[in-house]
Amino acid sequence: MELKTATNLAESITDTTHALVEALDEMPICRAFIQAMDLANHDPEVQRLLRAIYEAQGAGFSARKSGPTLAQLQTELEALPVVVSLRQAERGMREILTAVDDIISQVAGVPFAANAKRSCCG
């Protein structure tokens, strides 16, 4: 009997999760976020700067005397219009997901996201 109850609960949670994802997927900010991520992931200038940042991190700051600094590369990356749009979409997504967390937390009676993380003891 216990296994059947656990299975039913898992199915119910899965169904509810799918419904939540579908609802989020219909929201313009979610679509904008996915589109912004796709554009940034395929933008040649973003990719060039990310490679340069990784190289600068891997080279060790003391060994890298010529060329732009890591901070300059990051500033250049963040200034790209595609990255500015991505950051704006990320803020919108964070607001929506925070609101979802607030609602679940209120209904559950405990902070949802904070309790979804693994603690040092479990």
For 9-29, write each residue's pLDDT tens digit.
889 889 999 999 999 999 999
- If one counts every other C-beta atom within 10 angstroms of the C-beta of residue 40, the result is 20
Nearest to 20 by CA among 79, 77, 103, 94: 103
Predicted pLDDT at 3: 64
87 assigned to some structural domain? yes
Predicted pLDDT at 60: 64
Cβ atoms of 89 and 29 closer than 8 Å: yes
8 assigned to some structural domain? no
Cβ atoms of 33 and 89 closer than 8 Å: yes
Nearest to 88 by CA among 15, 36, 28, 38: 36
Low-confidence ranges of the chain (pLDDT < 70): 1-4, 60-66, 119-122
18 assigned to some structural domain? no
**What is the domain count for the chain?**
1
Tell me which residue range forms the domain holding 91. 29-113
